[in-house]
Amino acid sequence: MERFTILDGGQPMELAAEIAGGQVALDSASVHEELGWSLRPEGLCRGSVCVPVRDRAALVGERGIDLAELARVLDRPLALDVTERAAALGTPASERRAALEGLEAPDFTLPDLAGRRHTLSSFRGKKVLLIAYASW
Q: Could you give the 3-state DSSP secondary structure of residue 47?
A: coil
Residue range 108-118, pLDDT digits in tens: 898 888 999 99
**Can you say whether the dihedral through the CA atoms of 52, 58, 61, 66 is positive or negative?**
negative
Amino acid at 8: D
Determine the pLDDT at residue 65. 96
pLDDT band at 39 (very low <50, low <70, confident <90, very high): very high
pLDDT band at 131 (very low <50, low <70, confident <90, very high): confident
Lowest-confidence segment of 27-36, 41-50, 123-132 by average pLDDT: 123-132
DSSP-derived secondary structure for 78-106: EEEETTTTEEEE---HHHHHHHHHTT-PP
Domain regions of the chain by residue span: 2-95
Residue range 63-108, pLDDT digits in tens: 999 999 999 999 999 999 999 999 999 988 788 787 778 777 778 8
Tell me how far apart the terminal alpha carbons of the chain are, to the nearest angstrom. Answer: 35
Determine the pLDDT at residue 88. 95
For the segment 20-32, the average pLDDT, to the nearest whole number, is 93
